[in-house]
Structure 1
Amino acid sequence: MTALDEPHAAEFEDPPTPRDGPLTGTRVLDLSHIASGPFATMLLADLGADVIKVERAGTGDGARQMDRSLQDGDSGYYLGLNKNKRSIALDLRTTQGRNTVRALAPNADVFVENFRPGAAARMRLGYDDIRAIRPDIVYCSITGFGASGPLRDAVAYDIVGQAFSGIMSITGDPDRPPVKCGAPIADLTSGMFATIGILAALHHRDQTGSGQHVGTSLLGASAALLASYLTSHAMGTPFHRLGSAHNTLAPYQAFTGSDGTNFILAAGNDTFFAKTTEILGLTTLSQDPRYATNPARTQHRQALAQILQTEFAKQTAGHWLAALAEVGVPASPINTIDDLVNDEQMRANDYVTDIAHPRIGTLPVINAPLTFSATPVTVRRPPPRLDQHRTEILAIAAGERSWLTEDN
């Protein structure tokens, strides 16, 4: 075995599975943790890339201990962001640990990190260090606030990205303090932008032979979600917290049926609004100057919502959803996570699938929501145990075996 570190045997072997995604053959060295980086590298892995996940010795990725669903040391939060990867635990405070990373780098196509700003460089694992080993490396850094500016060295978490970007200022009810989105959108959106940047840099490398340093941030990714809001605001449209309602569309919000069940109506244009008034028996509303056009409806949003709610309260949410669907007006139940796991539409598109986890059993996971006619998204590995693949990864670092999984 290699002298880089002491291996131990894995307790089980992963079953052989096909590798036919569009990124098959792409090798990713993943030093990221928690959410933003792991989401990016899982997207790459779902698309066929071979991802080696380097985790902290002893405790591993901090996401492993993040929620109450702990089973055998792994949380559901961790399991949901790390399928299709292999894991090795290294102490990067030691020369030995850092040397193992450097030994893997020459065969890596992509290097991903989301350490505190400057930490990778201090460990001699920054872009310049890795580029010296692999000149055409695509090196991706995810930071809190971006590579420049007075806050470049500050640390951010998801809620900080949502707050600083302005997202929270327009999220929540108007008579209550701002709230964050229930999903960690700053983390996950920065992960998606990281993936986009990595793919663009790989394309550039294919054309020119040159790698580069790709960067994104929680702030930048969150602010990007406000692209249309920013320009609309600059042109005079105010944006406020409106609960489930929309600043520039109406009726476009939650209503409640007679059974107390909430549902969403998204009558986002005049035609949909007219159809809504027809099924409610309120056709005069679509001719009323206060409600005839979307700009007028948004000005009189509260009064319109009260009129509609009075009618919606006369039948169940299911009744109205069926009626709206029949006339083609966009509407939706407000699903719970339990609803989503077993939803026919989700399953039909393979947006959620079940994997056999060797310790936990059947585990539902979200797939990358992409379809390819020739190179489908695949689930090839369950999320790894901490340090599960030490033996084979150390053999890769020592040059004793190929990185790619078809050699496993």
Structure 2
Amino acid sequence: MVDADQTFVIVGGGLAGAKAAETLRTEGFTGRVILVCDERDHPYERPPLSKGYLLGKEERDSVFVHEPAWYARHDVELHLGQTVVEIDRAAKTVHYGDDGTHVRYDKLLIATGAEPRRLDVPGTDLAGVHHLRRLAHAERLKGVLTSLGRDNGHLVIAGAGWIGLEVAAAAREYGAEVTVVEPGPTPLHGVLGPELGAVFAELHEAHGVRFRFGVRLTEIIGQDGVVLAARTDDGEEHPAHDVLAAIGAAPRTALAQAAGLEIADRAHGGGIVVDEHLRTGDPDIYAAGDVASFHHALFDTSLRVEHWANALNGGPAAARAMLGKGLAHDRVPYFFTDQYDLGMEYSGWAPAGSYDQVVIRGDAAKREFIAFWVREGRVLAGMNVNVWEVTEPIQQLIRSKAPVDTEALANPHVPLESLIA
């Protein structure tokens, strides 16, 4: 039974943590809510950092989950710029801050997110080497892209994943020269496979991006602290004034691991192991957002999902579970991207080797289509490109797990709704 004397602590001030705090209040929890964040900015959403805000199309204030006054108004104790250094499960306390502040919890939510993977090559200490994960990174990168565009400068991006491609698109819109170095054969190869990865390669090449596939960055060359070039393992040197490391993100599990909580292996995302209610092996500790590897009933496996929708929905799901009102967290994974004139939404989960067919509905050459990843006639995932208001039927097809007629699936004149079992 939850009562007003209880204290719920949330570690991590991203979208998952902020939405969890909001949900606790909207669900009627009247106890103490403490939100500890190691950043000095109020909790914010991350998609604008590589999209609208980076492009200068959205104001800085638009990224915040709540206006600053919201926290005091809803009696949420917000501790910014404070790092939690220890979770003492036996005493049920968390320790944070330089002065060793500690507070006892009745329920604890870990929403520490992820951090950029670092390039392990010479030259990463140069001033012109960047990552993009935090608001401060985006502010700095925005200034860099403005300067590169003005001066016809060169940006080398290591990695052709979502962040790498979104920044490449932004850099080209600023007018910078862009080279993307990617060890795979296409962009997004591990997510979309070769068929759809090629669509994004063609999109970026049409906008002047140069790709170097099948190679890795081996050195960033500089002088007097300034980046001059980037060298790849095929022996080439690529002109560069700045370099962006966009080689993925790693879940921030050190705090949980030190507390003795179970961590998933890399095959299952490497996050904090939680059940379908986002509860760890400790019944009073939960995890949500990028840091959680949760059992997904729909796909009957453990997943760690790094995208915005997982934080948006996972934070509230964890909060309700902490209140004893939990339902299984089984939302269909969803993410979106905007690059140049291409808008895309992806629903589902179809890792390499899990599907036997990709079905295209529409015109891929014109970049107006829906792609479906199918196994034995069952839809595992769907991606709509410049085709809108189809996310709901795509997700219903995934949830149904029923075989569909792939010829009808490919026919844009057959309503998707008619294929749902």
Superposition TM-score, scaled by structure 1 size: 0.28
Scaled by the length of structure 2, the TM-score of the pair is: 0.28
Greater per-residue strand proportion: 2
Between Structure 1 and Structure 2, the one with more helix by share is: 1
